[in-house]
Structure 1
Amino acid sequence: MQNLNFINGLWCQSLSGETLPVIDPATGEIFDEIPRSGAEEVDAAVEAAHAALRAGWLRTSGAYRAGLLRAIASGIQSQADALAELEVRDCGKTITEARYDMGDAVACFEYYATLAEGLDGQQGTPVQVSDPRFDVKLRHEPAGVVGLIVPWNFPLVNAAWKVAPALAAGCAVVLKPSELASLTTLRLARIAEGAGLPAGVLNVVCGLGSECGAAVAAHPGIAKVSFTGGTESGRKVMQARANLVGDLALELGGKSAMIVFDDIDLDHAIEWILMGSMYNQGQVCAATSRVLVQDTIFDALVEKLQRAASGLRVGPGLEASTQVGPLISVAQRDRVARLVRQGVAQGARLLCGGDVPANLETGYFYSPTVVLDVARDNVLWREEVFGPVLCVSRFSNEDQAIELANDSQYGLAAAVLSNDAERRERVARQLVAGIVWANCSGPAFIQAPWGGVKQSGFRRGLGQWGMHEFLELKQITTYNSPDAWGHFNAS
């Protein structure tokens, strides 16, 4: 199946005819290609989206949009196995995780279908005001044309997290997937087309972030941009939107901490430490890759952790036994390796990993890596590595643990493991993060808000908050008194 841009209901090549290679991270081999698009293709997509709004999409009911969202969910479900395999080849994750992602995408479209239906009953909500001569009502109206820029680590899931609430709200979409993983996003457009979504309501434009993504961020015809990706890229998007005084939501990087108290079961702790740091090869913005362990259990936990991390099965994602697949690209693998070398040179002690696994020189694999004795100014403690690299340090008391956990430029997520419920609540309240997990790490629910603070971004996706990000709140005030207002009475 040829991969083309989807603009105004039509499948089309880039205007230049140029393409970008699609590489299997498990083999390093090119197996497909996508269009290399830029500002002109984005212009066409924005124009198509505005035309769709004018043609009637802006006036659709939530119930109508809900039917389309459920049809899209059904389409994803019917192709879930094929989509999961395509996701593995495109971005390297394990087949187990990819199948879970397909279920998440289905559930996301179904959830926002229900919220779309609920919007119809929320229009015209009265507001009690101080002057009885006036009636004030509220309307929730679509933001208009929105630009959605999604990353490569969860391609279809991240697209669903943005596209579903945007369509539920009644917006028209220009979607820019990552050039490193675009294939399932393009399949989503085909599914939406088959579900009967009107032409121009969803447009997908592929290309480099520096070309196509930059054009989306800076487009004056886009009312709002929602971006998920790295912090440096987020700064560039923010600068572009600032020049337009344009609305923006950012979900950026993280360097999240997990605090492990000495009353927790060690096996339970090891399971969630690995889940929080090694899931999707550690390529997770909310990965709890800084683990703080109370000194009374530090040695015992580290001994178990070394065995568990060293025993993780690394291999191609399509092999059912694989627990850790390849990184997304050779550049990302080399970056991870360079940061580990730098961290060790700065004094961190390598417990395990720190190399390419034996017999896996082909592809972009990197061993699950654990480092100890990591100083607070060490690059591995401060910077988002975005790979299977875990830093472990010790603490002596609760106040010290909280201070160490909060000592970061990021604030996306955090975790606390303890059997003391009061302590979990007390610590969770003091952690500076948008998401705090207690006795676990990593679960994301479409019904709950997702987003961070500090340099991890601002605004919230998912839940009802995710849909309201794509709605504008309008006040309609009516003067209902039979008497003249009188302020400028000429008599």
Structure 2
Amino acid sequence: MSALDDNLKKAEAYLERFRKDGVLNQIGGEAVPASDGTTFETISPIDLKPIAKVAHGKSKDIDRAARAAKAAFRDWAAMPGDARKKLLHKIADAIVARAEEIAFVECMDTGQALKFMAKAALRGAENFRFYADRAPSARDGRTLYGPGQVNMTTRAPIGPVGVITPWNTPFMLSTWKIAPALAAGCTVVHKPAEFSPLTARLLVEIAEEAGLPKGVWNLVNGMGEDAGKALTEHPDIKAIGFVGESRTGSMIMKQGAETLKRVHFELGGKNPVIVFADADLERAADAAVFMIYSLNGERCTSSSRLLVEASVYDKFTALVAEKARRIKVGHPLDPATVVGPLIHPVHEKKVLEYISIGKAEGATVAAGGEKVQGPGGGCYVGPTLFTGANNNMRIAREEIFGPVLTAIPFKDEAEALEIANDTTYGLTGYLWTADVTRALRFTEALEAGMIWVNSENVRHLPTPFGGVKNSGIGRDGGDWSFDFYMETKNIAFATGAHAIAKLGG
């Protein structure tokens, strides 16, 4: 039996419970169907066949979940930080124990390759451990001295929060949002993306089996226009953490305005990787290829614009094209696969339309550029590289969110910066150069929330994560997450009998 056959057998065993029982909501510690009994199907992008029926939650289900989160908030917020720390570590341990199940289910539900999803559960567990260790100090503040007074700041959890996660790497991104919320003392209503709901169900089960009190974490499946809208408008939900498209973020902001919700958005990107002639071109090519073709190109931090100094443009793009053509497209559970099927036929159609747009705009297809016949006949698109492009083309300006890279030449540092900043987005940037003074100048002027120099995206959990312009509002990571999920209070103590103005006396 091949490794793929063995993995498929295991995956089917893990999926059997979903095929049999469906995917239920979790509200107040109970697995429940939608209040009106309706469901929707989640399909596998591998063969487009249904995996399971999913509870289709709507406003009534969100209301019930929000009330459960509100009822659980007082006791959860009052729990000592050390107790929350132990519990979150137990959740992390339980995630690790079920890492294979999580990875296989995620591969079948999203089309992401096992090469990357095998680590998704471990990254999710690390997110819980990171914030577990910070739970005891989450409420700590500062002491600030002023003339005749001493100020003491402290933090308190903001209340029940809504978390809306995307379909591309749903398990890891759910932990990235929910772990700090729980560590801060907030309760949660989670609405996962409708295209990939399975691992969200596993995650909340794992948490409650590890001892998380009922109602602290509630899960409601549904669509953005019903469950999502109800969550963003609900008066008991004090904040919304959202990862997804910029357009959707704008809608959420409008929907939450009436209840003055705090929002944190991690949105889209059209991120440049800028390669100067003095860079280590082989390493830069490996990094550029990794950042656009790993995770099927379905990642907000992908380096989807490749800006290369003109003197090495032809050499460098030829190197990238050669690497792209060697990437294995195949079944996500095949250990050798790098690019699996895209998430859904709707998204596949969008990506293929952009490839057609690029051709019509006059860009040259140096690699890929077409649908691939993969195992199961699902949503496979080959790793694609466009050369001969410019920054006015739609393929250079609009987020494609697939394995499509657009290469643009530049003549000097000034033009590279102009092209890099000529976008409505500002999530990440990647700079390759051997000139440290150039790196300092360029990163200072580059309009992006996160920049990696001579590196692909290597996350360090204590650092801030987030974008500028249309790429987001706020920062995740380290203490920045607590700034979002907690309110800061200042108490001023007089240290002497200072003069008080007398009015009317």
Q: 1:52 aligns with which of 56, 62, 72?
A: 72
Partner of 1:12: 32
Q: Distance in 2 between matches of 1:257 and 1:359?
A: 30
What is the CA-CA distance between 1:479 and the residue it aligns to?
4.5
Give the superposed CA RMSD. Answer: 1.6
Cα pair 1:22 1:31 within 8 Å, conserved: yes
Instruction: Select which of 104, 114, 118 maps to 1:99.
Output: 118
State the Cα deviation string for residues 373-425 of structure 1 (Å, max 9, x = none).
Answer: 22322110000000000000111111110111110000000011112222222
Instruction: Tell whether the 8 Å contact from 1:289 to 1:390 is kept in structure 2 after alignment.
Output: yes
Give me the whole-angstrom Cα distance separating, in 1, the residues matched to 2:153 and 2:319: 57
Give the match for residue 117 of structure 1: 136
Q: Which amino acid aligns with 2:61?
A: E
SS at match of 2:151: strand
Aligned to 2:430: 415
- The CA distance in 2 between the partners of 1:31 and 1:273, in whole Å, is 34
Q: Which residue of 2 aligns with 1:274?
A: 289
Alpha-carbon separation, structure 2, partners of 1:203 and 1:147: 10
2:146 matched to 1:129? yes
SS in 2 for 1:46: helix
Q: Report the Cα offset of residue 118 of structure 1.
A: 2.1
Residue equivalent to 1:332: 347
CA deviations over 1:272-323 (Å, ceiling 9, x no partner): 1111111111101111110011111111112222211111100111000001
Per-residue deviation, residues 48-69 of structure 1 (Å, max 9, x unmatched):
0110123x11211211111111
Is 2:273 aligned against 1:258?
yes
- Shift of the 464–370 alpha-carbon distance from structure 1 to 2, 3 Å rule, reads same
Say if 2:248 is the partner of 1:229.
no
For residues 135 and 311 of structure 1, what CA distance do their matches in structure 2 show?
64
Q: Deviations over 1:162-194 (max 9, x none)?
A: 110001110011111101111111111011101
Report the counterpart of residue 435 of structure 1 in structure 2.
450
1:434-469: CA deviation from partner (whole Å, max 9, x where unpaired): 010111222223221110000001100112111221
CA contact (8 A) 1:275 1:442 kept: no
Give the 3 Å change call, closer, same or farther, for CA 77–361 of structure 1 in structure 2: closer
8 Å CA contact 2:29, 2:208 repeated in 1? yes
Shift in Å, 1:482: 6.5
- Counterpart of 2:11 in structure 1 is none
Which residue identity is paired with 2:97?
S
Give the secondary structure class of the aligned counterpart of 2:195: coil
Q: Is the CA contact 1:169–1:468 (under 8 Å) kept in the aligned structure 2? A: no
1:188-227 matches, within 5 Å, as 188-227=203-242
Change (3 A) 1:471 1:88: same
Match of 1:366 in 2: 381
- For the residues of structure 1 that align with 2:361 and 2:497, how far apart are their CA atoms? 78
Structure 1 residue 486 displacement after superposition:
6.2
Cα distance per residue 1:336-392 (max 9 Å; x no partner): 001110121112111121111245571110011111122322110000000000000
Say if 2:430 and 2:451, in contact at 8 Å, map to a contact too: yes
Sequence identity of aligned pairs in percent? 33
Residues 61 and 368 (structure 1 numbering): CA distance in 2 closer, same or farther, change over 3 Å? same
Q: Which runs of 5+ in 1 are unaligned?
A: none
Quote the residue 1:391 is aligned against: 406
- Judge conservation of contact 2:426–2:468 (CA < 8 Å) in 1: yes
Find the residue that maps to 2:316 and give its secondary structure. helix
Structure 1 CA distance, aligned partners of 2:374 and 2:121? 31
2:329/2:374 contact within 8 Å kept: no
2: CA distance, partners of 1:154 / 1:489: 65
Q: What is the aligned counterpart of 2:469 among 454, 470, 473?
A: 454
Q: For the structure 1 residues 360 and 194, does the alpha-carbon distance in structure 2 shift closer, same or farther, using more than 3 Å as the test? A: closer
Aligned to 1:377: 392
Query: What is the alpha-carbon distance in structure 2 between the residues aligned to residue 49 and residue 255 of structure 1?
Result: 36
For the residue of structure 2 that corresponds to 1:332, the secondary structure is: helix
Instruction: Find the aligned partners of 1:118 and 1:334 in 2 and give their Cα distance.
Output: 48
Of 289, 295, 306, the match for 2:304: 289
How far the C-alpha of 1:485 sits from its partner, in A, is 4.8
- Cα 1:456–1:213 shift into 2, 3 Å: same
Amino acid at match of 2:391: R
Tell me, what secondary structure is at the counterpart of 2:295?
A: helix
Q: Check conservation: 2:138, 2:482, Cα contact below 8 A.
A: no
Q: Which moved more, 1:227-236 or 1:303-312?
A: 303-312
Please tell me the residue identity of whatever aligns with 2:362: G
* Shift of residue 215, structure 1, vs aligned partner: 1.0
What's the secondary structure of 1:153's corresponding residue?
coil
The code of the aligned residue for 2:143 comes to P
AA of the residue aligned to 1:456: S
Question: Match for residue 23 of structure 1?
Answer: 43
Match of 2:109 in 1: 90
The answer for unaligned runs of 5 or more in structure 2 is 1-16
- Cα distance change on mapping 1:147 and 1:459 into 2, 3 Å: same
**Other-structure match for 1:144:** 159
Indicate how the Cα distance of structure 1 residues 476 and 24 shifts in structure 2: closer, same or farther if over 3 A, else same. same
Secondary structure, aligned partner of 2:257: helix
Structure 1 residues 477, 316: closer, same or farther in 2, change over 3 A?
A: same
User: What is the aligned partner in structure 1 of residue 53 from structure 2?
Assistant: 33
Q: Distance in 2 between matches of 1:287 and 1:307?
A: 19
For these two proteins, the number of residue pairs brought into alignment is 485
1:81-135 Cα offsets, whole Å, 9 max, x none, are: 1111111011111112111211110111000011112235x25x432122x2x44
Q: Could you say what secondary structure the match of 1:411 adopts?
A: coil
| CA–CA distance in structure 1, aligned partners of residues 478 and 226 of structure 2 | 32
How many Å separate the matches in 2 of 1:86 and 1:416?
Answer: 35
Corresponding residue for residue 86 of structure 2: 67
Residues 328/483 of structure 1: CA separation in 2 closer, same or farther (3 Å cut): closer
Tell me, yes or no, if structure 1 residue 444 matches structure 2 residue 464: no
Q: Deviations over 1:220-260 (max 9, x none)?
A: 11111111100111111011122222211111000000110
Q: In structure 2, how many angstroms separate the alpha carbons of the residues matched to 1:8 and 1:166?
A: 17
